[in-house]
Amino acid sequence: MKKPFRERLKDGVIICDGAMGTLLELYEYNEKPPEIHNIKSPDIVERAHREYIQAGAEIIETNTFSGNRMRLEVYHLEDRLEEINRFAAEIAKRAAADSVYVAGAVGPTGRLLEPLGKTKLSDVKEVFREQIGILVGSGVDLLILETFLDLNELDAAIDAAKEVSPGIPIIAQKTFSEDGAILATEFPVEVVRHIKSKGVDVVGSNCTVGPQRMYGIIKSVYSEDIVLSAQPAAGIPTLVDGRSIYHATPEYLATYAKQLVEAGVTVVGACCGSTPSHIRAIAEAVRGVKIDRPPVAVKQKTIVEEEKPGEGSRDSSKFAAKLGKEFVTTVELDIPRGLDISSVIDGAKFCKEKGFDAVNITDGARARIRMSSIAISHLIQREVGIEAMTHLTTRDRNMIGLQAELLGAHVLGVRNILVITGDPAKIGDLPQAESVFDIDSVGLIRIVKNMNSGRDSMGNLMGEPTSFLIACAANPSTENFDYEIEKLVRKVESGAEVVFTQPIYETENFNRFLKEVETLKVPIVAGILPLRSHKHAEFLHHEIPGINIPSAVREKMFRAGESAAKVGIEISASLLREIKGTIAGAYFLPPFKKYDVAARVMEQAGF
């Protein structure tokens, strides 16, 4: 007869099981998600549990890591959620009998939470409440919340568990990236202290890192008032024919398991890539080992405190320094195909000579293949001496690539970033290419803001902060006006510091827009695209998303005949004269490299 779990914790080391998915793959039960086998192949799941018990596991986890509604939706199994989780608990309880603890395994939703993603924290919490309710109702002894990268999501899971069952024992485990620099900081200590403050029984880490890195984590966070758990992966996998192959031997994992226990771990097991052989070796290695490491003094900091490591100096961005104090002007340059960007350099030189503050460099606009906006921006700033407003889209890069690009941009001296979601790949040069869109512009703005505070997208410390000016886009003439305002509010709340608008051609909607965003107290730089002909006006209005040219303006261009280009400049200059007292600057988008048009509009507008 097993003791209540909290009493058992006081007796010393407890062995947890290893990976379920790895074992099912070895059995050649490869259908995804692994949780489907709770229904289709319950005998094989029970066999896996029994093998871990025979290897020495005193805690087995239900086969429910991906058993929440949001993950099951990916496989169109959300209607079988209750069945999957209930069967999993029953299978595990059958294998455990009366001598082994059954832990309800709860993993993250796999969704990006707001503001990086579109998933609301309240929705995530409800998803956890649903799954945990089934597991607790099915009689699990405790819960293991595992492999959480986002601390906010782990908080939601803990809160959900406590609401469903205030008395259920909880092991809460965050995963840390494979980064020795992070582990050398106070960040893991802050995380563990924060999780402990949520009132869980055991705090620890699992997955992602192998045993050496896991040992580094535990060494840095040990404290005598915290019960720790550790379930490292069996090293870093190699992908072979779509299958992850892990290389850490049972003996290697067992060596570090012993060191983990000596460093303060009470609940020890293994994660991805591990098998009953690994757990058997761990059980033998830690048998009789005492937790004898002396208490370690740690700083009493909490992750929930708002830290401001010191945003980088904006001295290198003259545009940022001028913004809101003087009227700013930028000109979008036309980026050609291929390697020859001499026309771009010439355009930048012209803009500098005419006194414009910056040039806008697009990032594969309209999904066309063009040179990197960051590379071009760097070359212009180095060779011409005018600052670039560098566009960065979320279309072509995942979250890893986006952050890599931003770090590279900063090193190259690029400081002004205009964040946009970007056009889908299907409309461009390679319609068969995949659009990434891990996140939208709101999420990328939040990432840039995090980096300006010295942290990456997940809040991990990354050392010196960046010093980007964060710009965003908005469309005052959109048909879905309320949605545009709502999204702009989210952009500003996430960290946008200046708004660049789509081209405008009349003041009624624009003034309405200005009134709606007045409380945001963010500078507005108005888009000005001078029309060159009636055909040009018709093309922009009917074929370019986001541009709305009033019929009166199109009619005026039609009546202008051969003088249309001149009239187009006059329309833009008149509009700019009318609104210049209400905006922070003008963003010119002259057609077909006719950068002199921007200068003529400025002159006629009285600048």
Asked if the model's pLDDT at residue 232 lies above 50, the reply is yes
Contacts of 560 (CB under 8 A, 6+ apart): 534, 566, 567, 568
pTM: 0.81
**How far separated are the first and last CA of the chain, in Å rounded?**
86
48-57, 213-222, 311-320, 450-459: least confidently modelled range:
311-320
Backbone angles phi, psi at 175, to 5 degrees: -95, 140
Structural tokens at position 280: 């058997």
Per-residue pLDDT at 564: 95
For 9-34, how does the pLDDT look when each residue is reduced to its tens digit (9 = 90+)?
999 999 999 999 999 988 989 899 99
Residue pointed to by tokens 């074992």: 23
**Parts of the chain belonging to CATH 3.20.20.330:** 5-286
User: Region 284-312: what's the mean pLDDT?
Assistant: 54
Characterize the bridge pairing of strands 238-240 and 243-245: antiparallel
Mean pLDDT of all residues in the chain? 91
Domain 5-286: CATH architecture, name and number where available? Alpha-Beta Barrel (3.20)
**CATH 3.40.630.10 fits domain 318-530+583-593:** no
Q: How many residues are given for the chain? A: 607
**Residue 302, both tokens:** 């909490």
Q: CA–CA separation, 360 vs 355, rounded Å?
A: 15
Among 65, 60, 110, CA closest to 84? 65
The pLDDT of residue 573 is above 80: yes
Given a cut of 70, whether residue 280 has pLDDT beyond it is: yes
CA 222 to each of CA 21, 190, 196, 227, 507: distance values in angstroms, whole numbers, following the listed order: 30, 12, 12, 9, 62
pLDDT higher than threshold 70 for residue 465: yes
Residue 303 has pLDDT above 70, yes or no: no
Burial class (CB in 10 A: 0-12, 13-18, 19+), 507: middle
What was the pLDDT predicted at 240?
Answer: 66
Helix then strand count (H, E) for the chain reads 24, 18
pLDDT for residue 579 is more than 70: yes
Q: What is the pLDDT of residue 544?
A: 86
| Nearest CA among 211, 221, 192, 230 for reference residue 295 | 221
Parts of the chain belonging to CATH 3.20.20.220: 318-530+583-593
Q: Could you list the beta-strand ranges (E) of 133-280.
A: 142-148, 170-174, 202-206, 228-231, 238-240, 243-245, 265-268
Q: What tens digit of pLDDT does each residue of 160-177 get?
A: 999 999 999 999 999 877
> Does the pLDDT at position 237 exceed 80?
no
Number of C-beta neighbours around residue 577 at 10 A: 14
